[in-house]
A and B are shown apart, each in its own frame.
Chain A
């Protein structure tokens, strides 16, 4: 009991001494890529909770989950007692953010983006929020160098179609201005679907017309062999060059689309999947 009291006093003293250095703060990270950046910066000990989309590294599963990033509940967030919230762009809702602000808890939103520059910007913004800008500059430079060093030049870029889901036989594919579009470009491919922005269901004829050489999907638990068989049996997909060569690449969604410190890894993995085995 006495020891606990002493540690309590010691903690109070340290927190009083270092309030400006952010050393004792309790950080809530909202957004899978934000959490990855916190870990990559070596600041994971300051994390006290995460959102549902934060699933890497696997040890984050031990932290309490405050829910989906766009449907945060104000009391749920307050119950983990954060002193700093770092959130990916699009987190909310606004009502929750306003209540958190009225409780004097800083809520820092990190801008999103889907190219090489965006990764560095994101890392630096998170580091800035954590009060470790030097570490951030270092990590950003390192990741940027890795991205710059990627040799993705190829004679004939592959036409790639990213399929988000095939629910009920309806192909939901990525157009432009998405994370999928960004990573395809980084990996040296061409997005085969360019008529629209975001993720949209495609008609069968549009799938045929897009004529992808390779299909990219998010991997999930389960039997991929059956899923592949279903994919090639899909009438529209069966007409594509990808079906002829049975070229499908499955990569973990957060790794592939996160645009964080693992993006060089994702781009390398996608690049080699697109070209080495082709």
Chain B
């Protein structure tokens, strides 16, 4: 037990004691998220405003059906889903980077995204061939369900490949993930070949990601999975911190390394599978958010994971607000927004902090 204490102390000392600063950033990000959620309920292509509607309601006027649909059936599920997806993308990125001890790791690398994407592509192109009974069962959710199943199957496959004698090799998993990515790329190419022109358009739009399809039903399916995954991450923090010293050292420090890896991989598969299933391919959040935060609060996962969740959620909500107002009444796919804002900004931060980034 004493060894464990020493270990975690060592890990946090290595990170530099930035607890005070981290706490401030944590509170700041929480406030930012609340502001973003309120804004997300109020901003949109239509002039409907949450506050006006609430005021009208308070003064006893009935809210018009159109306003009610916009606020409660369009913006409310979209805001919640945006926050959950943003949080899950950022946390998945942070966990992957910690687990692989590689600053470039993100769910795309462990094949979860690739598998989920392949599931979605198969559903878009071959959905019409489903046996009618199954098609009725999944209905309009065929694509998200297929994406989720695809993500899960690929994670399990990679995990099996990388685990030998009860030990999971992170390096093998990384390489196998790249191999699986190439394979899914090939199958995706085949699907693009046999797709008709309407399906091709659907594939393009899916690949760029969007929260436009957010409904309460989707939220009910994806929400619990994402919340569950997010709830598991605090238990990973100490393990991931110890892992920065290497697997053997982490083991000597009393960390159940194999169990921790299991939980980390399951968490990411769960969060990413559910996110990709409901929002398509939204890139960049998982890389940008954790790195930005490491620069300000340090690498300790105790703070990094929760703050990543808050900032990821706020970032995605902000991007979504831009995506649905900048070309209103039309909508820009959100993946374009996250990359256009995130890319240059991230580059700027990198240039300013090059020396700090050797993790």
**Inter-subunit contact B66/A95 (CB<8 Å):** no
CB distance from B197 to the nearest CB of A (A): 5
Q: Is A244 part of the binding interface, using a Cβ–Cβ cutoff of 8 Å?
A: no
Which of A70, A71, A80, A99 is the one whose CB lies under 8 Å from B74?
Answer: A99
Selecting from B43-51, B82-90, B94-102, B150-158, the interface stretch reads B43-51
Selecting from A2-10, A194-202, A261-269, the interface stretch reads A194-202
Q: Is A102 part of the binding interface, using a Cβ–Cβ cutoff of 8 Å?
A: yes
Which of B44, B196, B202, B331 is the one whose CB lies under 8 Å from A67?
Answer: B331
Which of B65, B201, B218, B327 is the one whose CB lies under 8 Å from A70?
Answer: B201
Alpha-carbon distance A65/B329, docked complex (angstroms): 6
**Inter-subunit contact B198/A81 (CB<8 Å):** no
Q: Which residues of A contact B238 (CB under 8 A)?
A: none
Task: Kindly report which residue of chain B lies nearest to residue A164, judged by CB atoms.
Answer: B197
**Inter-subunit contact B74/A75 (CB<8 Å):** yes
Task: Kindly report which residue of chain A lies nearest to residue B140, judged by CB atoms.
Answer: A94
Q: CB-CB contacts of B175-210 with A at 8 A, as 1s and 0s?
A: 000000000000000000100111001100100001
Q: Is B17 part of the binding interface, using a Cβ–Cβ cutoff of 8 Å?
A: no
**Inter-subunit contact B213/A79 (CB<8 Å):** no
Which of B44, B329, B331 is the one whose CB lies under 8 Å from A71?
Answer: B331
Q: How many residues of A contact B (CB 8 A)?
A: 34
Q: Is B245 part of the binding interface, using a Cβ–Cβ cutoff of 8 Å?
A: no
Alpha-carbon distance A64/B45, docked complex (angstroms): 12
14 contacts between A and B (CB under 8 A): A52-B330, A64-B329, A70-B201, A71-B333, A75-B44, A76-B45, A78-B46, A79-B44, A79-B45, A81-B66, A98-B215, A99-B215, A197-B196, A201-B193
**Inter-subunit contact A93/B74 (CB<8 Å):** no
Alpha-carbon distance A68/B206, docked complex (angstroms): 13
Q: CB-CB contacts of A78-90 with B at 8 A, as 1s and 0s?
A: 1111000000001
Task: Kindly report which residue of chain A lies nearest to residue B78, judged by CB atoms.
Answer: A75
Q: Is A66 part of the binding interface, using a Cβ–Cβ cutoff of 8 Å?
A: yes
Q: Is A1 part of the binding interface, using a Cβ–Cβ cutoff of 8 Å?
A: no
Q: Which residues of B contact A66 (CB under 8 A)?
A: 329-330
CB proximity to B under 8 Å, residues A58-115: 64-68, 70-71, 73-81, 90, 93-96, 98-99, 102-104
Q: Which residues of B contact A99 (CB under 8 A)?
A: 69, 73-74, 215
Alpha-carbon distance A103/B46, docked complex (angstroms): 14
Q: Which residues of B contact A93 (CB under 8 A)?
A: 140, 212-213
CB distance from A29 to the nearest CB of B (A): 13
Which of B140, B212, B329 is the one whose CB lies under 8 Å from A79?
Answer: B329
**Inter-subunit contact B70/A68 (CB<8 Å):** no
**Inter-subunit contact A78/B70 (CB<8 Å):** yes
Q: Is A49 part of the binding interface, using a Cβ–Cβ cutoff of 8 Å?
A: yes
Which of B74, B197, B205, B213 is the one whose CB lies under 8 Å from A78?
Answer: B74
Q: Is B291 part of the binding interface, using a Cβ–Cβ cutoff of 8 Å?
A: no
Alpha-carbon distance A62/B69, docked complex (angstroms): 28
Q: Which residues of A contact B218 (CB under 8 A)?
A: 95
Q: Can you add 4 more A-B contacts, CB < 8 Å, to A76-B328, A103-B65, A103-B69?
A: A49-B329, A68-B201, A73-B324, A95-B213
**Inter-subunit contact A71/B212 (CB<8 Å):** yes
Query: Given that A70-B202, A95-B140, A201-B193 are known contacts, is A76 also in contact with B66, CB under 8 Å in the complex?
Result: no
The winner among B47, B205, B327, B331 for most chain A CB atoms within 10 A is B331
Q: Which residues of A contact B73 (CB under 8 A)?
A: 74, 99, 102-103
Task: Kindly report which residue of chain B lies nearest to residue A70, judged by CB atoms.
Answer: B201
Q: CB-CB contacts of B131-142 with A at 8 A, as 1s and 0s?
A: 000000000100
**Inter-subunit contact A70/B66 (CB<8 Å):** no
**Inter-subunit contact A74/B66 (CB<8 Å):** no
Which of A52, A75, A90, A95 is the one whose CB lies under 8 Å from B46?
Answer: A75
**Inter-subunit contact B70/A75 (CB<8 Å):** yes
**Inter-subunit contact A76/B197 (CB<8 Å):** no
For the complex of A and B, 4 pairs with smallest distance between CB atoms: A67-B330, A79-B46, A76-B329, A79-B45
Q: Which residues of A contact B329 (CB under 8 A)?
A: 49, 64-67, 73, 76-77, 79-80
Q: Which residues of A contact B261 (CB under 8 A)?
A: none
Query: Given that A68-B201, A71-B205, A73-B45 are known contacts, is A200 also in contact with B193, CB under 8 Å in the complex?
Result: yes
Alpha-carbon distance A73/B46, docked complex (angstroms): 11
**Inter-subunit contact A198/B197 (CB<8 Å):** yes
